[in-house]
């Protein structure tokens, strides 16, 4: 089965998505998600200008060989753009292989290891009453695990807080990338955050009881010693995980955090290869791998990464915000269902407009996701609908401290 076309579809139903569609001489098509939030066109160009011509005439079944060829023949290795492009090709080829086999993709990955995929939702509020309302809304929607983010007194706009007016006056909602010609500037104060957050978790635990799994995302803003302090302060509230407590580019830094706290740690949404995790996994410095299938080389590379993690009892926590398209979400769900060391799956619902462009067959019932049993990934792209929403420039925000220093966002 030969590849005869590789089309790149950029569409913006409420937010930008880049989708790769590979077509074979047998008429089977496969989809891959190549979305890299705020840098979408760079991956589209990498695919269109450098990868698509290399795919023509290749055997669509040779997934491992195509992965190695794209990774090694570029000479320039790794990086978010390259690895997102390779991931899109990889996922599209798995979609094709599974459609050709007449099976849902998870069957080719070894079959289901569980009946459903536990998902966590994003609750947030500007203050405690608003946060409680948001948690209750998520519980009503069926979520059984909740990420908790709040505003911090003294900081104008904090990552991950819905309904918080951003610096442009727009509702922040769940989409941090804003359709502005320049990135929006936000502010940050780590000491204010560290003072405030334990009180928030104290309030949430006393309102919702000890059982509800609670998560929190530090979004790379702390130094190792600050992260250690926060992990320790949150221990009484029994978090499921503390995410991205430091930027973690320096993997060794996590030794320090680990020495001080038993709060479980999740890291890796900005990583793109197994090498970014080598020390973190081998020294058991984290508990959950946060990579996106779409940013870490696709199903082929993620499977290897998660198998490596499994040797150390480290579990998956695959990245699933709205900037992962329904195609990327479906890829994550098939992997989640098949692997043994599944931990939890992030799930932010896409908007109705996005669901019009991407027809999905995955389900969410009583807190559990399932990829469905359609052959392949189970997602179809409505290209006519996609064409109605052309690309709009959008940027993620960035942070400055009070003295004007640029900080991690
Ligand atoms: C998460 C992430 C996202 C990122 C986003 C950037 O845990 O879901 O932190 O919300 O900020 O993916 O594009
Ligand atoms: Mg995160």
What confidence tier does 159 reach under pLDDT thresholds 50, 70, 90?
confident
Per-residue pLDDT for 176 more than 50?
yes
Tell me, yes or no, whether 367 and 309 share the same domain: yes
37 Cβ below 6 A of ligand 1: yes
Tell me, yes or no, whether 121 and 42 share the same domain: no
Tell me, yes or no, whether 141 and 92 share the same domain: no
In angstroms, what is the span from residue 3 Cα to ligand 1's centroid? 33
In angstroms, what is the span from residue 217 Cα to ligand 2's centroid? 5
Specify the CATH number for the domain of residue 21. Answer: 3.30.390.10
Give strand pairing partners of 379: 360
Establish if 11 belongs to a structural domain.
Answer: yes
Tell me, yes or no, whether 181 and 285 share the same domain: yes
Per-residue pLDDT for 173 more than 90?
no
| Nearest ligand 1 atom to alpha carbon 290 | 7
Establish if 405 belongs to a structural domain.
Answer: no
pLDDT digits (tens, 9 = 90+) for 283-321: 999 999 999 999 999 999 999 999 999 999 999 999 999
Establish if 182 belongs to a structural domain.
Answer: yes
Nearest ligand for residue 121 CA = 1
14 Cβ below 6 A of ligand 1: no
95 Cβ below 6 A of ligand 1: no
Tell me, yes or no, whether 359 and 222 share the same domain: yes
Residue whose CA is at the smallest distance from ligand 1 atom 8: 321
Tell me, yes or no, whether 326 and 354 share the same domain: yes
Exposure class string for 192-209: b at 16+ Cβ within 10 A, else e:
ebbebbbebbebbbeebe
Tell me, yes or no, whether 231 and 259 share the same domain: yes
Tell me, yes or no, whether 264 and 351 share the same domain: yes
pLDDT digits (tens, 9 = 90+) for 216-247: 999 999 999 999 999 999 999 999 999 999 99
Establish if 111 belongs to a structural domain.
Answer: no
Tell me, yes or no, whether 287 and 361 share the same domain: yes
Tell me, yes or no, whether 295 and 193 share the same domain: yes
Q: Is 216 one of the catalytic residues?
A: no
Establish if 310 belongs to a structural domain.
Answer: yes
- Domain residue limits at 52: 3-104
Q: Is 207 helix (H, G, I), strand (E, B) or coil?
A: helix
Establish if 7 belongs to a structural domain.
Answer: yes
Ligand 1: residue of 323, 399, 409 to mutate (most ligand atoms within 8 A of CB) is: 323
Tell me, yes or no, whether 141 and 182 share the same domain: yes
| Catalytically annotated residue among 159, 237, 288, 347 | 159
Per-residue pLDDT for 171 more than 60?
no
Looking at residue 172, its pLDDT comes to 47
Establish if 390 belongs to a structural domain.
Answer: no
In angstroms, what is the span from residue 101 Cα to ligand 2's centroid? 35
Establish if 112 belongs to a structural domain.
Answer: no
| Nearest ligand 1 atom to alpha carbon 321 | 8
| Nearest ligand 1 atom to alpha carbon 348 | 8
Query: Which residues in 131-204 belong to E strands, given as ranges?
Result: 146-150, 185-187
Looking at residue 179, its pLDDT comes to 87
**How far is 342 from 352, CA to CA, in rounded Å?**
29
Domains identified in the chain, total number: 2
323 Cβ below 6 A of ligand 1: yes
Tell me, yes or no, whether 150 and 91 share the same domain: no
Nearest ligand for residue 324 CA = 1
Last residue in a domain, options 71, 104, 137:
104
Specify the CATH number for the domain of residue 130. Answer: 3.20.20.120
Sheet holding 29-33, edge to edge: 3-11, 17-24, 29-33
Q: Is 219 one of the catalytic residues?
A: yes
Last residue in a domain, options 64, 82, 104:
104
Q: Which residues contact 219 (CB under 8 A, 6 or more apart)?
A: 159, 160, 243, 244, 408, 409
């Amino acid at each position: 089965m030969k590849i005869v076309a590789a089309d790149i579809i950029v569409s913006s139903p409420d937010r930008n998505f880049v989708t790769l569609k590979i077509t074979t001489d047998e008429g089977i098509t496969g989809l891959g998600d190549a979305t890299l939030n705020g840098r979408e066109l760079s991956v589209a160009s990498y695919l269109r200008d450098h990868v698509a011509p290399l795919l023509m005439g290749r055997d669509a079944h040779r997934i491992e060989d195509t992965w190695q060829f794209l990774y090694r023949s570029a000479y320039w290795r790794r990086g978010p753009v390259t690895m997102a492009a390779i991931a899109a090709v990889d996922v599209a080829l798995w979609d094709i292989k599974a459609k050709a086999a007449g099976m849902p993709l998870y069957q080719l990955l070894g079959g289901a290891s569980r009946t459903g995929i536990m998902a966590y939702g994003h609750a947030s509020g500007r203050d405690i009453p608003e946060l409680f309302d948001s948690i209750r809304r998520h519980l009503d929607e069926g979520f059984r695990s909740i990420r908790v983010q709040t505003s911090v007194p003294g900081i104008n706009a904090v990552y991950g807080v819905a309904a918080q007016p951003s610096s442009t006056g727009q509702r922040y909602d769940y989409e941090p990338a804003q359709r502005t010609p320049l990135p929006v500037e936000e502010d940050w104060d780590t000491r204010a955050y560290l003072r405030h957050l334990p009180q928030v978790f104290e309030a949430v635990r006393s309102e919702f009881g000890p059982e509800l799994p609670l998560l929190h995302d530090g979004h790379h803003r702390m130094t190792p010693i600050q992260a250690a302090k926060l992990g320790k302060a949150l221990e009484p509230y029994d978090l499921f995980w503390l995410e991205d407590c430091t930027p973690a580019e320096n993997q060794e830094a996590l030794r320090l955090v680990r020495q001080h706290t038993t709060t479980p740690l999740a890291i890796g949404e900005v990583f793109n290869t197994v090498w970014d995790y080598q020390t973190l996994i081998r020294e058991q410095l984290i508990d959950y791998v946060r990579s996106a299938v779409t940013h870490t080389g696709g199903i082929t590379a993620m499977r290897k990464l998660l198998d490596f993690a499994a040797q150390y009892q480290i579990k998956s926590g695959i990245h699933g915000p709205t900037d992962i398209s329904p195609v990327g979400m479906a890829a994550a769900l098939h992997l989640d269902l098949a692997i043994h060391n599944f931990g939890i799956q992030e799930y932010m619902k896409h908007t109705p407009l996005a669901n019009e462009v991407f027809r999905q067959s995955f389900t969410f019932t009583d807190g559990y996701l399932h990829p469905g049993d359609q052959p392949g990934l189970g997602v179809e792209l409505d290209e006519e609908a996609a064409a109605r929403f052309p690309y709009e420039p959008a940027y993620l925000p960035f942070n400055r401290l009070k003295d004007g220093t640029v900080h991690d966002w």
